[in-house]
């Protein structure tokens, strides 16, 4: 009889814990999307994991659509981030101090389809709903200035304000930041 009471208590405890954990995960926005619904334009990374993982194989990488040219891909991405800073100024949204991981998904025409984001621990404290709204507004009005044959994505870390390292043209026209100091290079 004593064993049955212990087992019943244990099962009741497990069910109660499962119910609490489920309600907490749903209150944090971790509920799954219905099967026929796509990801929202802007979402918090970790919010819709199943759908996020489902769509990723359908996208090439930014580097792939830039034919493996890292400088070209970097220039396109940096140009977009500069436009994001300009949009922040225009809309009076303060991006300074925001540090986040962001995953951009573009359509083949360069329009933004989705932006997943997650604030880094060293980011300033911001209202995530306000950041979500800012990113949604940016996604509506911005188009990456390139057209390719397939949708593509890029995942990276960004810190605002942007710190841009300029590339110095060398005598042969190549842009790089390496300099020869002295006759032996050091």
What pLDDT, in 10s, does the model give residues 124-142? Answer: 999 999 999 999 999 999 9
Q: Which two tokens stand for residue 141?
A: 């009005």
What pLDDT, in 10s, does the model give residues 144-159? Answer: 999 899 999 999 999 9
**Cα–Cα distance measured from residue 43 to residue 115, given in angstroms and rounded to the nearest whole number:** 6
Q: Provide the residue count of the chain.
A: 186
In 107-143, DSSP assigns E strands to: 112-119
Global confidence as pTM: 0.71
- Nearest CA-CA partner of 64 in 23, 17, 106, 33: 106
Place of tokens 């907490």: 24
């Amino acid at each position: 009889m004593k064993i049955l009471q212990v087992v019943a208590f244990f099962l009741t405890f497990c069910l109660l814990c499962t119910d609490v954990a489920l309600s907490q995960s749903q209150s944090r926005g971790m509920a799954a999307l219905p099967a026929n619904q796509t990801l929202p334009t802007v979402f918090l990374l970790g919010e819709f994991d199943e759908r996020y993982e489902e769509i990723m194989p359908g996208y090439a990488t930014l580097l792939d659509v830039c034919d493996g040219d890292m400088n070209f891909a970097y220039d396109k991405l940096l140009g977009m981030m500069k436009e994001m800073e300009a949009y922040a100024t225009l809309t009076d949204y303060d991006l300074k101090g925001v540090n986040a991981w962001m995953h951009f998904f573009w359509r083949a025409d360069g329009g933004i389809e989705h932006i997943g984001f997650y604030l880094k621990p060293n980011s300033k404290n911001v209202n995530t709903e306000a950041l979500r709204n800012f990113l949604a507004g940016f996604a509506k009005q911005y188009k990456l200035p390139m057209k390719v044959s397939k949708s593509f994505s890029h995942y990276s870390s960004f810190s605002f304000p942007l710190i841009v390292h300029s590339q110095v043209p060398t005598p042969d026209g190549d842009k790089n930041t390496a300099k020869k100091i002295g006759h032996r290079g050091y």
